[in-house]
Amino acid sequence: MHRVVEDARNMLGKIYYLGGHGVVRQYNLSLHMFKQMDDDNYDKFSQLYIGKMYLEGLANEKNEELGFKYLKKSAEQEVTQAQIALAYAYVNGKGADEDLNKALYWIERAVNNNSSEAKYLLGIAYYYGDDKLNVKIDEKYGMKLLIESAEAGVEEARQELEMIRKEQTITNEPDIDSDSIDDRSENKRNWFGN
**Domain boundaries in the chain?**
114-194
The per-residue pLDDT for 192 is 57
- DSSP annotation of 64 reads H
**For residue range 24-52, what is the model confidence (pLDDT) as tens digits?**
999 999 999 998 887 777 899 999 999 99
The answer to whether 49 and 63 have CB atoms below 8 angstroms apart is no
Sign of torsion over alpha carbons 105, 34, 15, 4: positive
* DSSP notation for 138-149: -HHHHHHHHHHH
Q: Is the pLDDT of residue 182 over 80?
A: no
For residue 172, name the pLDDT band (cuts at 50, 70, 90). Answer: low
**For residue range 70-124, what is the model confidence (pLDDT) as tens digits?**
999 999 999 999 999 999 999 999 999 999 999 999 999 999 999 999 999 999 9
The per-residue pLDDT for 125 is 95
Q: Is the pLDDT of residue 179 over 80?
A: no
The per-residue pLDDT for 1 is 64
**For residue range 3-21, what is the model confidence (pLDDT) as tens digits?**
788 888 889 999 999 998 8
The per-residue pLDDT for 184 is 46
CA distance 69 to 96: 9
For residue 170, name the pLDDT band (cuts at 50, 70, 90). Answer: confident
The per-residue pLDDT for 67 is 96
Please give the residue that has the higher pLDDT: either 171 or 46: 46
The answer to whether 59 and 30 have CB atoms below 8 angstroms apart is yes
Q: Is the pLDDT of residue 152 over 60?
A: yes
Across 125-134, 138-147, 176-185, least confident range: 176-185
